[in-house]
Amino acid sequence: MDWTAVDTAVEAGAPRAFLFLERLVAEPSVVGHEEGALRVFADELADLGLAPTWLDLPDDIGDDLRAGVPQPVTVAARRSSAASVPTQPGSRPPGPARACARPGSAGS
């Protein structure tokens, strides 16, 4: 591995990454009201050439053991933002980047 190239790439991308982090942290994202932060996240993914999508989460998502620990949310519906990285033929696709929000909250 060419660690000099890795260091160069990290240094080149750091200013953009810090600006994204500032925007993301500045956006309210308490449980049940995450959509504004998700929009910041989705906008950044789109700027990187990905195609974010919104997925509705079922009301019983907390019953699925693979969903993690359910959070107490009193909204009628939540959704998830997902995007994945385009891959080269024959390469292993990465898992999607995901987060949850309720529709109709800030930023919609």
C-alpha closest to that of 78 among 56, 61, 94: 56
What phi and psi, each to the nearest 5 degrees, are found at residue 5?
-65, -40
Cα 10 from chain centroid (whole Å)? 20
The pLDDT value recorded for residue 67 is 75
pLDDT tens, position by position, 2-38: 999 999 999 999 999 999 999 999 998 887 778 888 8
Domain spans, the chain: 3-85+97-101
pLDDT tens, position by position, 47-78: 988 888 887 777 777 778 787 776 666 555 56
Q: How many CA atoms lie within 13 A of 69 on its CB side?
A: 3
C-alpha closest to that of 104 among 38, 21, 20: 38
